Structure 1
Amino acid sequence: MSTATLRPPEAAGIGRGFSFALVAHGLLVLALSYGVSWRSDSSPAFEAELWSSVPQVAAPREEAPPEPEPEAPRPDPKAQQRAAEEEAAQQREAEIAIAKEKKRKEEKAKQEREAKAAKDKAEKEKADKAAKEKAAKDKAAKDAKEAKETKETKEADARREAMRQEQLRRIQGLAGATGAPGSSGNALQNAAPSAGYAGRIKAKIRPLIIYSEDSAANPTAEVQVTLSPDGLILGTKVLKASPDADWDRAVLRAIEKAERLPRDVDGRVPPVIVMSFKPRE
């Protein structure tokens, strides 16, 4: 038996693979060689710079024209008319509202002016009335004060005059005394009035009494009258009041109206007289 027969048989296609590997390596070597030769190129290099003699401005970039705006829709005439009518109606309503508001403000302002005028008038009338009342009160007080002072002055003058007259009569002496020889007085005349003096006084006072009471009663009022030496009435006083106060007041008013009483038959006037008055005497 030979040795050739003992080796395993060769695989199919191994020769073709080896051939393909050799071809691939050869191509790779060629590619590397070409690359090395391209990079080792020693051709000279040139550089150049370009200059412009005059500065130039670049032209504007052309832009696309704007797209045309879409055409507005045409308004509807009826809609325009309705809108105009509504606007006119709103305008009228606004004018009416403005006019009403203006009228309301004018009425309010008028009422306020009238109220203020009435208030001012009332205050003025009140102030005038108060001023008049004060003036009248002041005048009344002044008149009362002056009347009181005048009355006091007159009374003082009357008292001084009475004292002076009395002193003069006493100074005249007792030569003309009319008393009885056995009289122990030191006056020129008797102090008591004459018998008819009271009647003369009543004759002057009674016509001045105003008394309208007509009754069966006949009240008596006893009155004291203070006189000056010349007959001037200085004061009156009820010493004994009657049951009828109206009769007492009527007698006092009559005496005050008389103002002055007549002298006695001897020319004298007693300083104090007490008299009684009745409605029917």
Structure 2
Amino acid sequence: MSTATLRPPEAAGIGRGLALALLAHGLLILALSYGLNWHSDSSPAFEAELWSSVPQVAAPREEAPPEPESEAPPPKPDLKAQQRAAEEAAAEQREAEIAIAKEKKRKEDKAREEAAKLEREKAAKEKEAKDKEAKAAKEKAAREEQDRKKAQDAKALKEAKEADARREAQRQEFLRRIQGMAGGTPGSTGTAAQSAAPSAGWVGRVKGKIRPLIIYSDEGAANPTAEVQVTLAPDGRILGTKKLKASGDDEWDRAVLRAIEKAEMLPRDTDGRVPPVIILSFRPRE
């Protein structure tokens, strides 16, 4: 009997288990390697088959999962295009801001123009109202001034008429007195005519007061006579003058009238009275 026939038979299944274990470890290592490098490593995968020393029936081969299709790498960014896009966006932003600012300014200008227009219209209305008020006040003042002048003219005319009437009455009275003096008889004992007429010396005193006030340049050889009627108050105040006879020399006539007005008051007569009307004659050389 040989020794080969005396060795105990090997246990069935040990080789198969060992082969499966080795295969499982190899697949695990392969899977880990692929999981780490599948994005960058495109080398083909290899398969390894382990054979046992004892002929055994091979286990069914496990197929590896299909590799995912490699994705194309993302394109490199175009920096110039990005810069242009950024510049265009900034330009659009600036244009938008400029447009907004222009619109805002336009609205503000329009608001200012409207406010200025309203202010001008208000000022024009106020000026028109003031002009109307000033015109009305001016017209009122003109009417009042016209009425005042009319009243003054009417008053002056009335006073002038009254003065003329008084002077005329005094003149008539004076003429009556003169006539009474002329019609008196030498043997008459009445005193009315003599009392009414001024004394002879009084007329000389009156002319003596007036003559120094006459301002006249006597250059001619003529000696004109100016006859003036003077109206007097009872106290001797001169109320008015009237030229009865022109001398022919207007300058002499005016000088005489001015001198009488400057005298303002004439002296009383010897009896203390003053005739209401007196007629005086003046010549440059007397």
What is the TM-score when the length of structure 1 is the normalising length?
0.48
What is the TM-score when the length of structure 2 is the normalising length?
0.48
